[in-house]
Amino acid sequence: MRIVIGSDHAGFPLKSSIVEHIKSLGHEVMDVGSYDPNPVDFPDVAKNVTASIIAGTAERGLLVCGTGVGASIAANKVKGIRAAVCHDVHSAHQSVEHDDVNVMCIGAQIVGAWLATDLVDAYLKAEFSKDEDFRRRVRKLAEMDDQR
């Protein structure tokens, strides 16, 4: 799977260990910044991550910022993106299985490298359920996108 990842300055230190872990799983990683610990605005990084998903050059995205919240808000402004903050393994897989999430947001100030690895594993292994209830709900989310 091709994964796009981005971080702001708060998420930058954690991002490198996440990138290495994803590569060790055999996935391709596109890192769209930031590339150093200097301050950067998370909405700009979210635009880079979401643009790759919308363009089809990546199947899923990861955003790492201080809490994951700002990145999630920014990503969800983009039509076709379903982003979720995940700080527990259950949410990391269920967000994909039930809500077809295509961007997982992690708070580097909330989780450490070990938990981040578990979150990434759960997120990348999860598949969107074929259950019609979940499919119907995600279609309704797409309809909401069209009403903007």
135-140 long-range Cβ contacts below 8 angstroms, 24+ apart? 137/98, 137/99, 138/82, 138/99, 138/100
Instruction: Specify the pTM.
Output: 0.95
Per the prediction, the chain carries an average pLDDT of: 96
Query: 14-56, pLDDT tens digit by residue?
Result: 999 999 999 999 999 999 999 999 999 999 999 999 999 999 9
Task: Please identify which residue in the block is written with the tokens 């201080």.
Answer: 66
The residues assigned a catalytic role are: 65, 98
Q: Model confidence at 146, in pLDDT bands (50, 70, 90)?
A: confident
Mean pLDDT of 69-90: 97
* Closest listed residue to residue 105, CA positions, set 3, 2, 6: 6
